[in-house]
C-alpha cells in the first residue's frame, strides 16, 4: 500500500458519505471521481466490490442515528410504539421486494452500463425531475410512517427499482417517487434512509458472492478505511439533510444534478 492509495480511499469515503444520502447519486459520483483521479479500469477502486461494499459504512451511520426508532425491542417503547415499529419494518420489506427481484435479474446488465456518459445523462434527467416536482408544490397527504399504507410503500419500492441505472440515485428515485404519490419531503427522505439498510446490505452481499475479485490484505485495509470515513461523513450528512428538508425543497439538488451532468457530458465529448 502507498500513501496515494490511502488518500484515494479517504477521498472516496468522503464522496460516499456525502452523496449516498443526498439525492445526487453516490455510485455515479464514485464512478466520476474514479475517472477524474485517473484510476484505471479493472483496478481495486473501480471494482464492483469496492464501489458497493463501501456503502456499508454509510449504512452503519443510519443504524447509529436511528437506532432507537428502528429498534422494536427498545425498553422505553410502549406496546403501541413497538407495534408501529414492526409495521414500519414490514413496510420497508414490502418496498424492497421489487428491487430485490429486478436487481437480481439485471445485476450484470447494469454493471455493463456503468459509464460516465450514462451517469451524466441520468444526473440531468432526474435533476429536471426534482425541479419539476418541486415547482408543482403538491400538498403532502402522507406525513408520517403510521399513515403510510403498504400500497404506498410498494409504489415507492417500484420507484426505487429505477436506481439500478447508474447515475439515477437510489435516494433520489425513492424521494421523487414518494413525493409524487403524496409523501412529505421529510417522510420521503427518512423512508429512503430506512430502505437503504436491507437494499444496500443485499447489494453488497450480492457483489461479494458473484464477483471473482480476490482482495489482498492491503485492499482490505483500504476498503475498511474508506468505510470508516464514509461512516463518519454520513453521520454529518444525514443530520444536515434532515435539518435542510425541514426548511427547504429539493430544487437545489436538481439544479446541481443538471449542471454536473452537462459538465460531464461536455468534458467527455471534448476530451
Cα–Cα dist 218/58, whole Å: 21
Contacts (Cβ under 8 Å, ≥6 apart) of 216: none
Q: Of all helices (H) and strands (E), which one includes residue 65?
A: helix 55-65
Rounded to 10°, the helix 150-161/79-112 angle is 20
Contact (CB, 8 A) for 64 and 159: no
- For the chain, the structural domain boundaries read 3-270
**pLDDT tens-place string over residues 204-222:** 887 777 777 778 888 889 9
Q: Among candidates 4, 73, 74, 96, which has minimal Cα distance to 43?
A: 4
Query: Nearest 5°: phi and psi at 40?
Result: -70, 150
Q: What pLDDT, in 10s, does the model give residues 163-178?
A: 888 888 889 999 999 9
Helix (H, G, I), strand (E, B) or coil at 57: helix
Q: What is the pLDDT of residues 54-107, one digit of tens each?
A: 989 999 999 999 999 999 998 889 999 999 999 999 999 999 999 888 877 776
In the predicted model, is pLDDT for residue 34 greater than 70? yes
Amino acid at each position: 500500500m502507498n500513501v496515494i492509495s490511502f488518500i484515494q480511499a479517504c477521498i472516496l469515503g468522503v464522496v460516499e458519505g456525502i452523496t449516498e444520502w443526498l439525492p445526487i447519486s453516490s455510485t455515479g459520483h464514485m464512478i466520476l471521481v474514479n475517472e477524474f483521479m485517473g484510476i484505471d479500469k479493472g483496478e481495486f477502486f473501480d471494482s464492483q466490490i469496492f464501489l458497493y461494499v463501501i456503502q456499508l459504512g454509510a449504512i452503519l451511520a443510519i443504524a447509529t442515528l436511528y437506532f432507537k426508532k428502528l429498534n422494536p425491542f427498545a425498553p422505553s417503547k410502549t406496546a403501541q410504539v413497538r407495534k408501529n415499529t414492526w409495521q414500519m419494518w414490514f413496510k420497508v420489506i414490502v418496498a424492497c421486494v421489487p428491487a430485490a427481484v429486478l436487481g437480481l435479474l439485471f445485476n450484470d446488465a447494469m454493471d455493463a452500463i456503468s459509464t460516465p456518459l450514462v451517469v451524466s445523462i441520468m444526473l440531468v434527467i432526474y435533476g429536471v425531475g426534482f425541479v419539476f416536482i418541486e415547482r408543482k408544490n403538491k400538498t403532502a397527504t402522507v406525513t408520517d410512517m403510521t399513515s403510510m399504507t403498504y400500497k404506498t410503500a410498494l409504489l415507492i419500492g417500484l420507484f426505487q427499482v429505477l436506481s439500478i441505472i447508474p447515475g439515477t440515485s437510489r435516494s433520489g428515485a425513492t424521494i421523487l417517487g414518494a413525493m409524487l404519490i403524496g409523501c412529505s419531503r421529510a417522510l420521503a427522505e427518512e423512508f429512503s434512509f430506512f430502505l437503504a439498510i436491507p437494499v444496500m446490505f443485499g447489494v453488497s452481499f450480492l457483489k461479494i458472492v458473484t464477483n471473482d475479485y480476490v482482495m489482498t490484505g492491503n485492499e482490505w485495509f483500504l476498503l475498511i478505511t474508506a468505510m470508516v470515513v464514509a461512516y463518519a461523513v454520513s453521520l454529518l450528512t444525514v443530520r444536515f439533510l434532515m435539518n435542510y428538508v425541514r426548511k427547504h425543497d429539493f430544487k437545489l439538488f436538481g439544479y446541481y444534478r443538471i449542471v454536473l451532468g452537462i459538465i460531464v457530458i461536455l468534458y467527455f465529448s471534448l476530451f
